[in-house]
């Protein structure tokens, strides 16, 4: 489920970024932080796929937000490379 979600939001980001400067401005850390917050902190606990955010130590949240920032930065890098190639 996590890989499917990542592929869908990455594809959505790529499509929107090609048409919108404000979306491109979110590349990297802001986009990753938004995905982390909306996904890990809000949606996943609401769907009861994990415990609530207060049930985890701050170090777990820090690792998660850092991982999402790396994902988002990589997603934008791939978008740029694909755009250059085509």
pLDDT score, position 28 = 84
Q: What DSSP string runs through 45-70?
A: HHTTSS--GGGS-HHHHHHHHHHHHH
Residue 13 exposed, middle or buried by CB count within 10 Å (0-12, 13-18, 19+): buried
State the pTM of this model. Answer: 0.86
Per-residue pLDDT of the chain (86 residues; tens, 9 = 90+): 889 989 999 999 999 999 999 998 888 889 999 999 999 999 999 999 999 999 999 999 999 999 999 999 999 999 999 999 99
Tokens 């740029």 belong to residue: 80
């Amino acid at each position: 489920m996590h890989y499917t979600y990542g592929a869908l939001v990455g594809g959505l980001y790529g499509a929107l970024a090609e048409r919108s400067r404000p979306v491109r401005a979110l590349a990297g850390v802001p986009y990753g932080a938004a995905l982390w917050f909306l996904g890990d902190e809000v949606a996943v606990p609401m769907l009861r796929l994990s415990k609530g955010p207060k049930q985890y130590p701050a170090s777990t949240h820090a690792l998660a937000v850092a991982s999402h920032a790396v994902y988002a930065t990589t997603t934008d890098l791939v978008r740029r490379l694909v755009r250059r190639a085509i």
